[in-house]
A and B are shown apart, each in its own frame.
Chain A
Amino acid sequence: MDIVDILNVSPYSIDKNEKEKLLNPVLNELTNHHYMNCSQFKKMMDSIGYDFEKEYEYSELPFLPVRLFKMLDLLSVEQKKVVKTMTSSGTTGQTVSRIYLDRTTASNQTKVLAKIVSSFIGQKRVPMIIVDNEEVVKNRKLFSARGAGILGFSMFGSKRMYALDENMELKTEAIIEFLKKHKNEKVFLFGFTFIIWQHFYKQMLEKEIKLDLSKAILIHGGGWKKLINESISSNDFRKRLNSVCGIKSVHDYYGMVEQTGSIYMECEKGHLHAPVFSDIIIRRQTDFSVAEIGERGIIQVLSILAHSYPGHSLLTEDEGVLLGEDDCSCGRKGKYFKIVGRLKNAEIRGCSDTYVQKS
């Protein structure tokens, strides 16, 4: 089966067996493609005794730590075919990861994102409120994962407005105007979790702004690190948002620049779901073996989209728990899971630097 055929499969329609049948050949082929076309990847595979001839189960395929993309320039197509370079800073310091996309990879990412998101907000494009300020996208110097996320999701908006001004103040009147104009339509809100909390929710609360967003759908992502510091759980987040603007449909997503497009959406039951285009495997820290359902471990992500760079199988620095497979009460097939958080920085003994700031 070709990737193109998989792209036509409905995102949450197939069970474990079918998914393995579908993904095993594609992911084996991708590994071999990178082996043939990325000399660094070949050296890595040779060093662990990867067998080019063997058909692996995709859970047995090697995985690269995401941090490697900060240390090495990894690509599996000719440099001149690269149409877009994605960068992200992550949390381990100043170095950025560089992800090189060719035309096919970039366009497949867009297609897959469209398929996943439209299964939540519908096929039709809808009026969209972006909870951020426009500078994030306009100013190329500030352009980041945040900007890329906004641009990526913007394709779902028929009309678009930015909800915050350049001082991150809520543009209350403009929002009321926008909502009035699209009174009978479903409105799509998008933004980064922490920004929604800090600049949308808190301002509405403090300024006692009443908006009716009961028919709107919110998709947000970017991580919970800052909210965990304020001890806000995903449940609190939904409840509190609902209390200020009546919004009922709130969906977090888990994704990363290293595998753009094949994101993991949160369902109505509060579980993150793997679509058919990608998968997660929770691994034990002790030996990288596959963890059981309910067991906490390091998250590995696999995606069939990573063609121009060897990022189809990655070990993240996030911890998560697999909650189940094919049997979420929301009705979606595939694995569902939750994120526990970032892997904690280790407290290492030894004569390390007295003065170096620890992140």
Chain B
Amino acid sequence: MPRLEAAVIHMYKSLKDIEFIFPKEIDIEAFAEKSSFEPYSEEVVNYLDVLSKELNKDPNIRVYPDVATFSFFCRRANILSIKKKYLSNNFLRLGRGILFHIAPSNVAVNFAYSLLSGLLAGNLNIVRVPSKNFEQIDIISKAIEKISKKSEHEFISSRIVLVRYDRLNSATSYFSSISDVRIIWGGDETISQVRENKIPPRSFDITFADRYSLCAINADEYINEKFPNKIAQGFYNDTYLFDQNACTAPHLLVWLGTKDNVNKAKRIFWDSLYDIVKLNYTVQPVIAVDKLTSFYNQSVNMNQITKSVTPDNLIWRVELQHLSKNIDEFRCSSGYFSEFHATSLSEINKIIDKKYQTLAYYGISNDELNEFMKYEKPKGIDRIVPIGKTSDFSLIWDGIDLINSLSRVIEIK
């Protein structure tokens, strides 16, 4: 093949200045020759279970709940229960081949979930981890390194490559050129920059673009909640835990119910949230200015908004009189919320476009939610989860079934 030679030179040039985190040395061409395998194969289930155990041995895991959560996800029992739901048809599936994962720069453990999905679907994985030195990355890569010493896990170990390089490196172009699926996390700007690098004709991208999320609370139910603190803690995890900057973090709160109940519910909700935020969160000076700037900009570009009185800059609440389509443009990080009292869930349909990702909810039944999606057919919203669950990882993400997308179906007749 005449093109191979060119690729070798290309590769040689591109792979300079890359930090190979795992393995320390690699022959990418030999790596690329390896086979993919069946989703949820015994090897990968075993591997993930060992990885989970290995991670639990690391004393540092106590400092990093995100690593602990990941480790918990990797347990055999969990993976097998997901597998059970998955095995609904009898088609043979195999991984697509080489996945090139580009993880977001500001979330430490996201790369591991991306890798996990790629492995579970039966693929070879090249993962670009964040260039920032998160300790979580060290913990996980150390565990992967350790397992690689065990020959019984060689099959999976040899299908993992972890790399780190800065954004100007030409490695993206090389890895793209050999990938069967490129998974791009991290927003519109990143996606368009990565897409300047070609992928082979049959390959495709799975992209996780900038999204907007919201929360709906039925006040008629909420006022009877016995543990509003628990709900507030869940909401805190949905938002402040990642500075309200994850795509899953709600920016808009939609209140449902009678006026009296909504007023009462708001008081309880914000008071109990404030207690938690006050204890756990600090607003940096520049963020305080950001919030004020966002608010004035919103007040000019939307009609009749008002600022609700809050004790300080930890929580900013913006009361909307009208729900307008451009609401997603007026968001800010670190605790800035717009609120609207809607007569029904269907009233919000008019603003929901493809940008909307997660709807967090409280006090709304599954039937109502199903009906809303089925009959209103909003253009967006891919995930509907209870408050507190927005950032839980699932193998169905952003409306994409990762295992099915990352594997191919073989028809045998």
Contact = CB atoms under 8 A, between A and B. Distances in A.
A349 B190 contact: no
A312 to B, nearest CB: 15
Contacts of A346: 243, 284, 286-287, 290, 333-334
Chain B interface residue count: which class? 35 or more
Contacts of B104: 351-354
Interface in A76-107: none
A356 B190 contact: yes
A119 to B, nearest CB: 32
B306 A49 contact: yes
A29 B313 CA distance: 28
Interface stretch (B21-29, B85-93, B245-253): B245-253
Given A47-B306, A315-B292, A351 B245 contact: yes
B105 interface: yes
A348 B281 CA distance: 13
Contacts of A239: none
A346 B290 CA distance: 10
A243 B246 CA distance: 54
B288 A285 contact: yes
Contacts of A344: 284-286
Contacts of B186: 351-355
Contacts of B130: 354
A68 B167 contact: no
Nearest to A297: B285
Given A287-B313, A356-B190, A351 B185 contact: yes
Contacts of B295: 47
Task: Point out which of B103, B246, B300 has the most chain A C-beta atoms below 10 A from its C-beta.
Answer: B300
A343 B189 contact: no
Interface string B80-108: 00000000000000000000001111110
Contacts, number: 142
B195 to A, nearest CB: 11
Nearest to B289: A65
A68 B241 CA distance: 28
Interface string A327-359: 000000000000000011110111111111100
Interface residues of A, number: 36
Nearest to A286: B312
Interface in A207-226: none
Given A351-B104, A353-B190, A44 B300 contact: yes
B136 interface: no
A72 interface: yes
Interface in B251-293: 283-290, 292-293
Interface in A30-78: 40, 43-44, 46-49, 64-65, 67-68, 71-72
B299 A354 contact: no
A288 B288 contact: yes
B203 to A, nearest CB: 20
A49 B245 CA distance: 29
B289 A315 contact: yes
Given A47-B307, A68-B296, A344-B284, A349 B242 contact: yes
B102 to A, nearest CB: 6
B244 A43 contact: no
B54 to A, nearest CB: 26
Most buried by B among A65, A317, A346, A351: A351
Interface of B: 102-107, 110, 130, 167, 185-190, 193-194, 208, 241-247, 249, 283-290, 292-293, 295-297, 299-300, 304-307, 311-314, 333-334
Interface of A: 40, 43-44, 46-49, 64-65, 67-68, 71-72, 285-288, 297-298, 315, 317, 319, 343-346, 348-357
21 contacts: A46-B299, A68-B293, A285-B313, A286-B283, A286-B288, A286-B313, A317-B286, A345-B286, A348-B333, A350-B107, A350-B244, A351-B186, A352-B106, A352-B245, A354-B130, A354-B167, A355-B105, A355-B186, A355-B190, A356-B190, A357-B167
Given A286-B314, A346-B284, A352-B104, 11 more contacts: A44-B300, A46-B299, A47-B305, A285-B284, A298-B288, A346-B243, A346-B286, A350-B107, A351-B107, A353-B105, A355-B186
